[in-house]
Amino acid sequence: MRIALPTRIDPAAFATRDASAPIVTLEGPTMGTRWRVLYAGRADPAPIAAAITQTLARIVAEMSHWDADSVLSRFNRAPAGHWIDLPPDFAHVIAAALRIAGSSDGAFDPAIGHLVNAHGHGPTRASGSCNGWHHLAWDAAARRLRQPGGLALDLSGIAKGHAVDALANVLRRCQIGHALVEIGGELRGTGIRPDGDPWWVDLENPPGAPLAPLRIALHDLAVATSGTYIRGDHNLDPRTGRPAAHGVAAASVIHPSAMEADAFATALTVLGPDAGAAFAIRHALAARLVMRRRGTWDEWLSPALLAMLEP
């Protein structure tokens, strides 16, 4: 068993730990999957669950490409040249998405809705010719985005991670400093467990991959995984319009932000083993790539992740 530890431990986590506190579990459906929250404390779970449900409903109403009335869907239908005012959550996500699209040379791209539809992963089979983040004009100061004409956003590679961060913020506002949040396999841990341990999370290995277990201490950290071993080649390469076919079965990123971990994991899957490793090193990402090439399994750990491993 390999153990990855955070580079920094918050002393306040131990100062506020209640060794006798129960761990409360809340869960429910969202975004075509399920959310789950574990928190240590004695706070009434009913208002916390209500705040979580309200937050997730707001995010879906803004960024779902399956909801015809969402802000995203309205942007996708907007005429050429029309500016759409974005609510704060949406603006936060699109700003990060465009930044990561630029840094990854488009390996991560929030403007591939038509490609997603054409490959059968979207709400319709309709497709269009306008794809690519470079067509978008973003006015950060005014929080508005310009529809260039016929372009469709798809935030599937980043919105779920943002929702994990948003739930962590809900818990913080409820004075809960020790919790684990999960939405569909994307996780973020804050504080520690009542027994003094961190929130332990094991990275899943693709079936048949003979890799040593890797356990992560999610103390004020998040982890997201993208890959092909669960749903097949659903990761599209925005630069070619075809499924990424570099042999990356799984890419995991550990990061303080679940949103950024989510998007970076997608980018690494698309970039492939060599370019993905170079990107992870260049951006100091704690990342793991699992590859299947010529019938054999291989694993690569970034220097930042190696530095987290317990001796």
Residue 32, domain CATH? 3.10.520.10
Contact 171, 37 (CB under 8 A): yes
Whether residue 161 is contained in a domain is answered as no
Task: For residue 286, give the nearest of 76, 6, 93, 1 by alpha carbon.
Answer: 6
Asked whether the predicted pLDDT for residue 195 surpasses 60, the reply is yes
Q: Which residues are annotated as a binding site for Mg(2+)?
A: 157, 262, 266
Asked whether the predicted pLDDT for residue 9 surpasses 80, the reply is yes
Name the pLDDT band for 252 (thresholds 50, 70, 90). very high
Whether residue 13 is contained in a domain is answered as yes
Per-residue model confidence as pLDDT tens digits over 58-69: 999 999 988 999
Q: Which residues are annotated as a binding site?
A: 157, 262, 266
Mean pLDDT, range 14-26, rounded to an integer: 96
Asked whether the predicted pLDDT for residue 218 surpasses 60, the reply is yes
Asked whether the predicted pLDDT for residue 122 surpasses 60, the reply is no
Domain of residue 289 covers 2-41+177-306
Whether residue 93 is contained in a domain is answered as no
Name the pLDDT band for 176 (thresholds 50, 70, 90). very high
Whether residue 11 is contained in a domain is answered as yes
Whether residue 139 is contained in a domain is answered as no
Written as one letter, the residue type at 307 is A
Q: Rounded to a whole number, what is the largest CA-CA distance in the chain?
A: 59
Number of structural domains in the chain: 1
Name the pLDDT band for 229 (thresholds 50, 70, 90). low
Whether residue 127 is contained in a domain is answered as no
Whether residue 275 is contained in a domain is answered as yes
Whether residue 117 is contained in a domain is answered as no
